[in-house]
Amino acid sequence: MINSSSDNVKKLNSINRRMFITGSVKFFIMIGLVSRLFFLQVKENKKYLTLSDKNRIREWKLAPVRGEFHDYFGNVIAGNFEAYQLHIIPEQVEDFRYVIYRIKDLLELSDKEFKRIIKKKNEIKSWETLIVSDNLSWKKFSKINNHLYDLNGVKPVISISRNYPFGSNFTHVIGYVSQANEQDIENNEAIKKNFVPGLKIGKVGLEKSFENKLIGSNDIERYEVNAYGRRISQLEFQKGEKGKSLRLTVDTKVQQLSNELLKDQAGSICVMDIYTGEVIAMHSSPSFDPNLFVFGISQDDWQIIRNDPMKPLVNKTLQGNYSPGSTIKPIVALSALENGIINTNFTVNCRGHKHPLELYGQTYHCWKKEGHGFVNLRNAMKQSCDNYFYEIARKLGVDRLSETAKKFGLGKEVFGNLFNIEKKGLIPNTQWKKNALGQSWVLGETVITGIGQGYIQTTPIQLCLMTAQIANGGYKIYPKIVMDDENKVSPIDKFTPLYKNSKNIKIVQDAMFASTNEVRGTSYRSRIDDPKYQFAGKTGTAQVKKITERDRELDLKTFQIPYEERDHALYIAYGPYKNPRYAVSILVEHGGNGSTTAAPMAKKLFKTIIDRHQLRESINNKKYLDI
């Protein structure tokens, strides 16, 4: 009994001792747990709170509203319209099959379209939006609305989309928008930031150049979602900003007229303010309807545009490298005068096709079979005598000619890097030929450069700038098509003289006047006698192929030659002559002859331009009055 009780005591001592040890261990473990809780919940709380919000809050971005384009007078030329769309959230539809077939009937969907919708439906989650149609006509949209009672879960939605009210008129100025592809997203931060599926971005033209300004910012919807991504409730709606609208210098009326003039012809018309450099109109023909691209162009439409022999996709004003033909003659004359090669009395005897200019076995003909006889500068320009210009070009040399030409804006991009498609053209000189072709310049090339043939190539917009700078008295201007921000500094060398002697400019201007307004001038028939509209210009006919002796003998009329072999018709002009304000350049591809095809267009253009001058001025004056 004593043994057993002493054992009991020992046992109790042992168990109590161990209980004490255990108790202490428990205490410290408890402390450990509490400190872990403290660490997670108090110290690291912010981190985990953020993570928890990241878990539960998801943002949905909506497409931003794109900025608009306005013409000089504030008319919308690229705006937004309400597109009628049809959305379905599949999980909200009780009987999807029934509803989708019902919609198929109502919208008269083709089997192909129907299959595409079904395919799209299978790709998305049941609570995501299925866009059945992104641009319904009002008729179909209202039809759907009338049948909504048995279309559960179908949502007619009005969404904002791009619209070009003037259709093809401005395509080559502002371009068009279309769905962004992966490359667009990768190359542009602004697009990346604002990207939502179906976002439309500028693909060409100013829509592309000013993408970052136009795009605006997304509306953002914040939703609470569960672990499976289902939206539970909307937490916030953050209104995005509409993209910046841009005012262009373009006058819609003149632009429309340009479209009409070049209808069914390939070519280009540019109109420019000779002092401010504002582009009043800039058209390349043929054009196409940019609205076709907004919701994705159909294969048929695309093939029509792509395969058109007149190449509507090419912006001829900016991308077209053409031989300037005789329109280069004012610059050749100016260069010769500036360099003291000739004076106004210098004469050349043009003796027609029987006595062409001969250099090293090559012959160079004037365009006029009979010849012009003795011509001085004024007469040579007026009648566009090639022999005269062969002679002064030969005396001048190509290097001095190219110097003057470059000064007046030829051979480089007129808009800088505004349009990434703009071509430089080519003003050749001896150095260029050595570098590019590895050959020495030959005199014959100088001679034909003098009448704008050979290597020399210019774009219609360059010719327009050249004309404007001759017209304004020989001062440098910077063409622009978008109205500047008020705070933008104009370049320092704006309005610096491009001439050595202003008298030389006057001589060239006078010669151009003669060409249009005096008997035997090449564009005499297109003249306007009313001094209000009177303009001065220079025709040009650029050969697209070498004229052979046979051609010369045949002396075919334009319509008798195959289209591709016809000459390009060009015309540059400025007016009103007494107090010049606007410069024009016109190019008609394979139009035959500058004086018969291009010059008459200028007549119509100047009528409109000058009639609208007052209006244009008043807009500016009004602006100052308001402030």
Residues at the contact surface with other proteins, assessed by CB under 8 A: 7-8, 10-12, 14-16, 18-19, 22-23, 26, 29-30, 33-34, 36-38, 40-42, 44-45, 47-49, 51-52, 55-56, 224-228, 232
Amino acid at 385: C
37 vs 619, which CB is nearer to other proteins? 37
Distances (CA, A) of 74 to 216, 248, 252, 483: 20, 9, 10, 11
Cβ 202 vs Cβ 175: under 8 Å: yes
Tell me the closest approach of the beta carbon of residue 6 to other proteins, in angstroms. Answer: 10
Tell me the closest approach of the beta carbon of residue 219 to other proteins, in angstroms. Answer: 24
Give the up-direction half-sphere exposure of residue 89: CA atoms within 13 A in the CB hemisphere. 9
Residue 79 has a CB neighbour count (10 Å cut-off) of 17
- State how far the Cα of 546 lies from the Cα of 67, in Å rounded to an integer: 49
Tell me the closest approach of the beta carbon of residue 9 to other proteins, in angstroms. Answer: 10
Cβ 77 vs Cβ 70: under 8 Å: yes
33 vs 547, which CB is nearer to other proteins? 33
Tell me the closest approach of the beta carbon of residue 92 to other proteins, in angstroms. Answer: 20
For 459: left if phi > 0, alpha if psi spans -120 to 50, otherwise beta; the answer is: beta
121 vs 231, which CB is nearer to other proteins? 231
Cα dihedral 26, 31, 32, 34 sign: positive
* Token pair recorded at residue 426: 């080519």
Tell me the closest approach of the beta carbon of residue 30 to other proteins, in angstroms. Answer: 6
Tell me the closest approach of the beta carbon of residue 27 to other proteins, in angstroms. Answer: 9
44 vs 186, which CB is nearer to other proteins? 44
Tell me the closest approach of the beta carbon of residue 54 to other proteins, in angstroms. Answer: 9
45 vs 137, which CB is nearer to other proteins? 45
Query: Rg for the chain (alpha carbons), in Å?
Result: 37
Tell me the closest approach of the beta carbon of residue 8 to other proteins, in angstroms. Answer: 7
55 vs 152, which CB is nearer to other proteins? 55
23 vs 74, which CB is nearer to other proteins? 23
Question: Residue 84: is it exposed, middle or buried by C-beta count within 10 angstroms (0-12/13-18/19+)?
Answer: buried
11 vs 552, which CB is nearer to other proteins? 11
Cβ 471 vs Cβ 585: under 8 Å: no
41 vs 92, which CB is nearer to other proteins? 41
- State how far the Cα of 401 lies from the Cα of 429, in Å rounded to an integer: 8
Tell me the closest approach of the beta carbon of residue 235 to other proteins, in angstroms. Answer: 11
DSSP state of 322: B
Q: Show Cβ contacts of residue 494 under 8 Å, excluding neighbours closer than 6 positions.
A: 476, 477, 478
Of 178, 175, 177, 195, the closest CA to residue 186 belongs to 195
